[in-house]
Amino acid sequence: MLFSYKWLESLIEGKIPKPQKLAELLTMHSFEVEEIEKRGQDFVLDIAVLPDRGSDCLSHLGIAREISAILRKKLKELKREKLKTIKGKIKPIKLKIGCPRLVSRYSAIVLENVKIASSPRWLRERLKSLGLRSVNNVVDLTNFIMLETGQPLHAFDYDKIKGQKIIIRLSKKGEKLITLDDKKHTLDKDILVIEDQNRLIDLVGIMGGKNSEVDFKTKNIVLQAGNFDRWTIYQGIKKLNFSTQAANIYIHGFDPNLSILALERIHYLFKKLSQGQIVQIIDVYPKKVKLSKIKLDLKHVENLLGIKISANEIKNILTHLHFNVTRKSKVILEVKVPTWRLDISISEDLIEEIGRISGFQKIPSLFPTVALIPPQKNLNIFWENLNKDILKEAGFSEVYNSSFINKKEAEISNFKLTKLIEVKNPTSLDYQYLRPSLIPKLLINARDNLKNFQDIRIFELGKVFKEKSGSRRNSISSKTLGYRSGGRKDKSLAGEKRMLSGLISGDSFYELKGVIDLFLEKLGIVDVYYDNFQPTPETSEMMIWNLQKCAEIKIGNSEVGFLGEIKSDILRKLKIKEKIIVFDLDFEKLQKLADEQHEYRPISQYPAAIRDIALLVPREVRVADVLNVIERVGGGTIIDVDLFDIYEGEELPMGKKNLAFHLIYQAENKTLSSKEIDAIQKKIIKALEKNREWEVRR
């Protein structure tokens, strides 16, 4: 909100610092001053009043109180005039409050024979410097009072209120009203309004109606100072998508005791500008707000702030903020809270006041002197770091993508929309669904980067989201979940889990498979194997893979992920010309299987021997099947099998391929004789040739 430096100055006894210095003080003790602008003879400060202080500081009086406390100077008393009625000629206003719960106070004065004119220069300039247009003396004064005291006022032309009726109630859907700024509003239900005999005349707390506006012909007026339910006004401006400075004050709520003060103040100023006589005072204030008391333990002040501030200094600070302080004992103060400080209810609130006015910069830096408790190791983060490092070493770059995908991205990747978690209020359709997989965005990364790079290797480790089965039925009531028994459940509320996915561009299935092998080995996972994928109708989401060129990655009995080429039609839709090979690993499973205990295996002192086997097999035979045989028969003496050549060509019989392996023999406890090796080799050949279509070439 904008504040006039001169105006603030006029409210304080004595001199105040120059604008720049004042701004610094306010920033360090109260609220951030975001901008200072010179306007004519005045300076305008843009002050970001904190949300909890909207109730008392969206006014010059409020900020002046802050300044007076910071400078320890006195505030000037605002000149006011007691409200007294004289007998008038016009009929009294009949007030009816249809929703008493929403009106904590309704004060108004009715004035007869007012003289509407242009405002005097001082008033016009005050308003102008803060960007308000001058209308006439009445309207300008109501604005002035609002900016000064924080009590929004509204003036009705008495003679335009039909039947002298003011009925405050909630709107019905479809009711219409044109506001002072000529905007037409069609209302939703439950917006606070004022109706006269038969039409709406005010959007309460937001803006008055055009139909009851004060103009230069106006003779009699009703000046209203209300205090309305902040939540209702708040919802009102949301429903209307329309707000005003007054509404901004109302949504914070403020002290109901302010209404009469504001009317007395306007009455004082009014008498000078426009004669007019009060003929009626309305003041409905069913539940008077009283001062509350807080016990303040001085030891607690010191405990919390970490600095000792003397009782006198505390008293001094609080008194300048208009708290009433009584010393009850050596360590206890009783503090009465002024009714406008809606933000103060516990002693910690007072400690904040003491801390900030005294100055947070005065608090020293002191390391805590507490028991040394070593931090716990976070295994999730340990494994994430390790995995990321391995992939980085393998030449992969890490990307972070958005957690959202749009409909098109979901459809291209064949995800069923009904299985996705949908965002209720996305800012744009690009953020309509939570990502069920990291792959769609990775493919887009690949496409975009292929414009600048030939060889893409990227990965991401992040959360994916899927509807938990059955979660709709036992939908979580946030209360029960939080309060007692349920609160202990620290499980995720919907299906979210970490995935580790990555891709490589080009026709490089085996290269990526090699990376995965290396990667799993580094994690200490040994019993990994790859299996052809058998799709079922439910596994629609697997339909991103080229089924001829994809494999399930299995460890023991559990499937931990996928490796394969992306289907060509998906690539075509994404306008990717290269082949893309992707891995997609369930990181939660992987982490469970990974073993940090990386054990050193002694290097055998005995020499290794290499024998080769060339095997002619039908094309569709899988290398894994051949390896299984070799390893089963070879047992512990074969420490490694290395496939060094695959050949399919003209010299070979149709439909056959030749596989060539190095078999590496080594024992840990002795030198294997060539006799021993030959015997095992023979056994292996025999086992391989049990299969009639397999032929070991000699």
Partner 1 sequence: MAKINLKLLKKEAAKKVKKAQNLKELDKIFKKYLGKQGKLTQILRSLKKLPKEKRKKIGGEANSLKSFLEKIIEEKRKTLEKKSQEELNKKEWMDVTLPGKKIQIGHLHPLTQTKREVENIFQSLGFSVVEGPEIENEWYNFDALNIPKDHPARDMWDTLYLKPQKLLLRTHTSPVQIRYLERNQPPLRIIVPGRVYRREATDASHEINFYQVEGLMVDRKGKVSVANFKAIIEEFVKRFFGQSVQIRLRPSFFPFTEPSFEVDISCVVCSQKGCSTCQGTGWIEAMGAGMVHPNVFKNAGLNPQEWQGFAFGMGMDRLAMMKYKINDIRLFYGGDLRFLNQF
For tokens 């109730």, the residue is 55
- Exactly one of 7, 29, 61, 317 binds partner 1 (CB under 8 A); that residue is 29
Given the complex with partner 1, which of 131 and 364 has the nearer CB atom?
Answer: 364
- Tell which positions 247-276 bind partner 1, by CB under 8 A: 251-252
Nearest distance in Å: CB 524, partner 1:
21
Instruction: Return all residues near 455 (Cβ < 8 A) that are at least 6 apart.
Output: 505, 506
Two tokens, residue 259: 């209404």
Would you count residue 457 as binding partner 1 (CB under 8 A)? yes
Closer residue to partner 1 in complex, CB, 380/532: 380
Is 522 one of the binding residues for partner 1 (CB under 8 A)? no
- Of 138, 167, 135, 134, whose CA–CA distance to 155 is shortest? 138
Cβ-based nearer residue to partner 1, 53 or 657: 53
Q: Hey, which residues between 53 and 82 contact partner 1 (CB under 8 A)?
A: 53
> Is residue 334 within the footprint of partner 1 (CB under 8 A)?
no
Tokens (6 digits) for 283: 């003041």
For residues 389 and 339, the answer to whether their CB atoms sit within 8 Å is no
Which residues in the 114-143 window bind partner 1 by CB under 8 A?
none
Site membership for partner 1, residue 580 (CB under 8 A): no
278-307: contacts with partner 1 (CB under 8 A): 299, 303-307
The crossing angle, in degrees rounded to 10, of helices 347-358 and 298-305 is: 60
First to last CA, the chain: 92
Residues 6+ apart with CB under 8 A from 513: 530, 551, 563
Number of residues engaging partner 1 in binding (CB under 8 A): 106
Judged by CB under 8 A, the stretch of 202-210, 367-375, 555-563, 669-677 that binds partner 1 is 367-375
| Interface pick for partner 1 out of 403, 414, 508, 604 (rule CB under 8 A) | 403
Q: Alpha helix (H) ranges present in 241-337?
A: 245-250, 258-273, 298-305, 311-320
Q: CA angle, 597 as apex, 593 and 602 as ends, to 5°?
A: 125
> In this chain, which stretch among 103-111, 309-317, 470-478, 517-525 interacts with partner 1, using CB under 8 A?
470-478
Does 310 engage in binding with partner 1 (CB under 8 A)?
Answer: no
Distance of closest approach, residue 366 Cβ to partner 1, in angstroms:
4
Smallest distance from partner 1 to CB 289, Å: 19
392 binds partner 1 (CB under 8 A): yes
Residue among 241, 312, 329, 427 that touches partner 1 (CB under 8 A)? 427
Q: How far is residue 313's CA from residue 304's CA, in Å, rounded to a whole number?
A: 17
Should residue 425 be labelled a site residue for partner 1 when binding is judged by CB under 8 A?
Answer: yes
Dmax (CA) of the chain: 131
Tell how strand 94-97 and strand 165-170 pair up. parallel
CA–CA gap between residue 48 and residue 27 (Å, rounded): 9
Provide the minimum distance between the beta carbon of 526 and partner 1 in the complex, in angstroms, as a whole number. 24
Nearest distance, CB of residue 677 and partner 1, angstroms: 40
Distance of CA 167 to the CA centre of its chain: 41
Can residue 352 be called a binding residue for partner 1 (CB under 8 A)? yes
Query: At closest approach, how far in Å is the CB of 306 from partner 1?
Result: 3
Is 434 a residue that touches partner 1 (CB under 8 A)?
yes
The interface with partner 1 within residues 481-520 (CB under 8 A) comprises 481-483, 487-488, 490-494, 496
Report yes or no: 695 and 616 within 8 Å, Cβ to Cβ: yes
Q: Which is nearer to partner 1, 384 or 695 (CB)?
A: 384
Reduced to 3 states (helix: H, G, I; strand: E, B; else coil), residue 414 is coil
* C-alpha–C-alpha distance, residues 445 and 679, integer Å: 54
Estimate to the nearest angstrom the gap between the alpha carbon of 618 and the chain centroid. Answer: 59
Residues 437-456 that bind partner 1 (CB under 8 A): 441-442, 444-445, 448-449, 452-453, 455-456
Residue 61: CA count within 13 A, CB half-sphere: 20
Question: Is the CB of residue 222 less than 8 Å from the CB of residue 186?
Answer: no
Closest CA to 225 of 151, 145, 280: 151
The contact pattern for partner 1, residues 34-53, with x = CB under 8 A and - = no contact, is ----------------xxxx
Positive or negative: CA dihedral 640, 646, 652, 656: positive
Q: Does residue 604 bind partner 1 (CB under 8 A)? A: no
Interaction mask 192-231, partner 1, x per CB under 8 A: --------------------------------------xx
Nearer to partner 1, 176 or 295 (CB): 295
Residue 274's identity, in one-letter code, is S
* 391 touches partner 1 (CB under 8 A): yes
The C-alpha atoms of residue 653 and residue 261 are separated, in whole angstroms, by: 106
Tell the smallest beta-carbon distance from residue 455 to partner 1 (Å): 7
Nearer to partner 1, 436 or 634 (CB): 436
Asked if 404 is part of the footprint of partner 1 (rule: CB under 8 A), the reply reads: yes
* Amino acid identity at 217: K
CB atoms within 10 A of CB 421: 16
Binding segment for partner 1 among 77-85, 87-95, 473-481, 555-563 (CB under 8 A)? 473-481
Is 658 within 8 Å of 674 (Cβ atoms)? Answer: no
User: Where does this chain touch partner 1 (CB under 8 A) — which range of 420-428, 503-511, 546-554, 687-695?
Assistant: 420-428
* Nearest residue to 501 (alpha-carbon basis) of 665, 336, 644, 388: 388
Q: Is 475 in the site for partner 1 (CB under 8 A)?
A: yes
- Does 364 bind partner 1 (CB under 8 A)? Our answer is yes
